Chain A
Amino acid sequence: MTAVAAGQAVAPRRPWRQRSQGTRTAYLFLLPALLLMAIITFYPLVFQIWMAFTDFQLKNLRPTAPGPNFVGLQNFTRILDNNIVIPNFDFLRILTFNLFWALSNVIIHVVIGVAIALVLNVDGLKFKRVWRAVYILPIAIPPIIVATVWRNMFDPQYGAVNQLINGTIGVLFKLPPFQLDWLNQPNPILAVGPLVLPLAYFALLAANIWLGWPLNSVVATGALQSIPKDLYEAAEMDGAGYWDRLKTVTLPFLRPAMLPFAIYGFVLTFNLFTLSYFMSGGGPFGQTELLVTTGYRLVAEQHLYGVAAAFAIFQFFILLVITLVTNRLARATASYDS
């Protein structure tokens, strides 16, 4: 890196004509990628803003069809007033659930990921490589398969979870067959204001913990291996036990690596489409619906393109606020440390 930077600094400034020719070459290299992104990504983004103020529907889809009507802010107010054809739509509840979903997942992922990384980092532990290879497996499975397999695992009759309970506790205490419908249990476990947590949330949580901790563990392992060994020796000389060393050496060193990853994980989990869509289908009564799945249903199922566009604009600003807040948090805690 330093060598490259130095090379750049030393290079003499070229005359103007040559530089503008350089710009032309650069744009030639950029053109194919930018052209594709302009058509597929940037144009729809702009188009979306216009669409959000219209009643664009299925009937306006054909190129020859008449254009949609301009409806002003109606799409936005309909979303905020929960006045949308999607059953059980409640914007505040979905947003609250989505935030809670992301936060609870990330905390658990980081804690489990770090804990398991610590176990695997113990000096002298045998078969480390084998365990690391096994633990990475969830990452290697396509998310859509993970979600559908876990849906199957929570099936009331044939699912692995109920069978496991039947086979252990059921056999032990001679209970009648246990057929809990995890994903469709209608009564929420917890309901505080806009926060509603049905049993399906915990099923989704279990699946996402299975899916999420391995990558955290990989990141934590990398950070653990970069901690200088003499710090531990010095701490040991001072008579620090395992837990003291963990608190004074390990965790402070893990923090700079784990915090950005946790923020990344938060955004990733916040927008995690597959589990909600394929495992619980957003149920029961839309209680495990996320913003991304709701937006998708507006397009793929309801064909309310205008409302969906307004919804996407809300999504965009929510993500923007999340990014700003998490960045601020990361910086605040970082300066506290130093």
Chain B
Amino acid sequence: MTTPVAVAPRIEVKPLAQARTGGGRRLKLRSQIGLQLVCLAIGSTVLFPIVWIVGMSIDPRNISRPDSLIPPGANLDAYLRVLQRPTLNPVSFFQLALNSLSVAVLISALSVGLGVLAAYAFSRMKFRGREFMMLLILAVLMLPAVATVGPLYISMNRIAVGDFRLGGSLLGVALAVTSTQLPFAIWNMKGYLDTIPKELEEAAVVDGAGKFQTFLRIVLPLSTPVLAVTALFGFIAGWTEFLLAQVFIVGDPSQWTLAVALNALVGQYAGSTPWSTFAAFAVLFALPVMIVYLLLQRWIVSGLTVGGVKG
């Protein structure tokens, strides 16, 4: 019973106080500075590893102790070494990047192409076994890709033409990763297609367009954001893929991807890793992904529909 009494005077004071401090619109200088310092502290913990690795990559002393963020005599030697011959194998960074790029592009194209066809069927058509198949695909989403790597490797090794084994090739890696990307791609694209009004397609059908034509002419152009996001995720998954690539192609250095080479750099013989080389490698490896991610950040949010963000 004492609370209402205690509260009553504060209600009258509040509007006045609000008017002066801007009703929460403007902070007191002291809180502003305090909060900015908090933000700065958080920001420095976020940035520290990034600055550290960039600093290390331009350190000429290679494995010596870096004592300042911009080391004395900073140069780009480590980058030159990485570009010429990043690992012990006679394979250039360019070759590694090309391998990663081809895997990434293939995964990106396949997951969009195959995924959007399936997503369209799930979104627009009624057919027997629809619910069952959607659940089946969702169930795969829960399974970590590692769990089937053994039987996958074995069965892909059986697909062989002459010297070519699917289980020992970048094409095999790309197909395998695409399959792990598809469940998410299908569900996400279906979520987006669901939001495109059906009336547009019905109008096209009235004009005499077939199912596939309506899909190609009407639906695809309208779903550009989600196609772009699926392509981006597929690309990043391919560019950074390690698990399957390591099992499939580790025996053939000419087929190595960036991730496999990075593992060779830091993995088994970490004690002897030239850290500057590693750092330069990491920067060159991460930079394309970071740039693309930051550029497309807004798009990514608008193209993500899993979880029913779009309604």
- A202 sits at the interface (CB 8 A): no
Interface residues of A in 21-51 (CB under 8 A from B): 22-23, 25-27, 29-30, 32-34, 36-37, 39-45, 47-48, 51
Partner of B182, one of A37, A61, A116, A136: A37
In the assembled complex, the CB of B77 is this many whole angstroms from the nearest CB of chain A, namely: 17
> Is B236's CB under 8 angstroms from A142's CB?
yes
Residue from B50, B150, B215, B239 in contact with A48 in the complex, judged by beta carbons closer than 8 Å: B150
- Among the listed B67, B151, B197, B259, which residue makes an inter-chain contact with A47, where contact means beta carbons less than 8 Å apart? B151
A123–B45 CA distance with the chains assembled, in angstroms: 24
Are B67 and A44 neighbours in the complex by a CB distance under 8 Å?
A: no
Q: B246 at the A/B interface (Cβ < 8 Å)? A: yes
Contact (Cβ within 8 A) B151 A36:
no
CA distance A16 to B198 in the complex (A): 22
The reply to whether B180 and A238 form a contact with Cβ atoms under 8 Å apart is no
- Chain A's nearest CB lies how many Å from the CB of B31? 8
- List, in ascending order, chain A residues with CB within 8 A of B218's CB: none
Whether B146 is near chain A, meaning CB under 8 Å from some CB there, is: yes
Asked if B229 CB lies within 8 Å of chain A CBs, one says no
Nearest chain A CB to B163 CB, angstrom units: 13
Q: Does A170 contact B (CB under 8 A)?
A: no
Of residues B140, B143, B215, which shows the largest number of chain A Cβ atoms within 10 Å of its Cβ? B143
Chain A residues with Cβ below 8 Å from B290 are 137, 140-141
Are A122's CB and B242's CB within 8 A?
no
Does A3 sit at the interface, judged by CB under 8 A? Answer: yes
Residues 119-161 of A, flagged 1 when their CB comes within 8 A of B and 0 if not, give 1101111110001011111111111111011111101011010
> Which of B49, B142, B152 is the most central at the interface, judged by chain A CB atoms within 10 Å of its CB?
B49
Check B182–A140 contact: CB distance below 8 A: no
Q: Select one of B36, B53, B158, B293 contacting A152, CB under 8 A.
A: B53
Contact B278 A142 (CB under 8 A): no
Number of A-B contacts (CB under 8 A): 261
State the CA gap A237–B10 with chains docked (Å): 9
Taken together as a complex, chains A and B put the C-alpha atoms of A138 and B199 apart, in Å, by: 42
Which of B78-86, B87-95, B115-123 lines the interface with chain A? Answer: B115-123
Chain B interfacial residues counted at CB < 8 A: 107
Asked if B151 contacts A305 (CB within 8 A), the reply is yes
Point out which of B125, B154, B289 has the most chain A C-beta atoms below 10 A from its C-beta: B154
Q: Which of B46, B137, B243 contacts A273 (CB 8 A)?
A: B243
B46 touches A134 (CB 8 A): yes
- CB neighbours (8 Å) of B270 from chain A are 151
Distance of A73 Cα from B148 Cα, bound (Å): 19
Asked if B126 and A22 make an inter-chain contact with CB atoms under 8 angstroms apart, the answer reads: yes
Cβ-defined contact, B155 with A43, below 8 A: yes
CB A56 to nearest CB in B, in angstroms, measures 7
Cβ contact of A134, chosen from B27, B43, B182, B311, cutoff 8 A: B43
Contact A34 B133 (CB under 8 A): yes
Which listed residue, A19, A116, A148, A300, touches B282 by the CB 8 Å rule?
A148
Contact B194 A4 (CB under 8 A): yes
Please give the distance in Å from B44's CB to the nearest CB on chain A. 9
B102 within 8 A of A: no
Give the interface segment out of A79-87, A193-201, A315-323: A315-323
B282: chain A residues at CB < 8 Å are 145, 148-149
Given contacts A141-B289, A142-B239, contact A135 B42 (CB under 8 A): yes
Interface of A is mostly: helix
| Smallest CB separation, B199 vs chain A (Å) | 7
Q: Does B188 contact A (CB under 8 A)?
A: no
Interface residues of B in 1-54 (CB under 8 A from A): 6-7, 10-11, 14, 22, 24-27, 31-32, 35-36, 38-39, 42-43, 45-50, 52-53
B247 shortest CB reach to chain A, Å: 5
Contact of B125 with A29 in the complex, beta carbons under 8 Å: yes
Partner of B197 from A3, A44, A45, A312 at Cβ < 8 Å: A3
Contact B194 A1 (CB under 8 A): yes
| Cβ-based interface call for B164 (8 A) | no
- Chain B residues in 8 Å Cβ range of A125: 27, 32, 35-36, 39
Known: A26-B125, A34-B118, A148-B282. A239 touches B7 (CB 8 A): yes
* A295 contacts chain B at the CB level, 8 A cutoff: yes
Q: Which residues of B contact A145 (CB under 8 A)?
A: 240, 262, 282, 285-286
In the bound complex, residues from chain A placing their C-beta under 8 Å from that of B45 are 210
- Chain B residues with CB under 8 Å of A19's CB are 126
The reply to whether A309 and B118 contact each other, CB–CB distance below 8 Å, is no
Q: How far in angstroms is the closest Cβ of chain B from A128?
A: 9
**17 additional contacts (CB under 8 A) given A37-B137, A135-B46:** A26-B121, A26-B126, A27-B121, A36-B175, A40-B178, A48-B147, A48-B148, A48-B151, A61-B154, A125-B36, A125-B39, A135-B42, A137-B290, A151-B270, A155-B275, A163-B67, A319-B144
Report 8 cross-chain contacts, Cβ distance below 8 Å, ordered by A residue: A30-B118, A42-B140, A125-B32, A131-B39, A141-B50, A153-B52, A160-B48, A273-B243
Binding site for B on A (CB under 8 A): 1, 3-4, 7-8, 19, 22-23, 25-27, 29-30, 32-34, 36-37, 39-45, 47-48, 51, 56, 61-63, 116, 119-120, 122-127, 131, 133-146, 148-153, 155, 157-158, 160, 163, 167, 210, 214, 236-239, 260, 267, 271, 273-274, 278, 281, 292, 295-296, 298-300, 305, 308-309, 312, 315-316, 319, 323
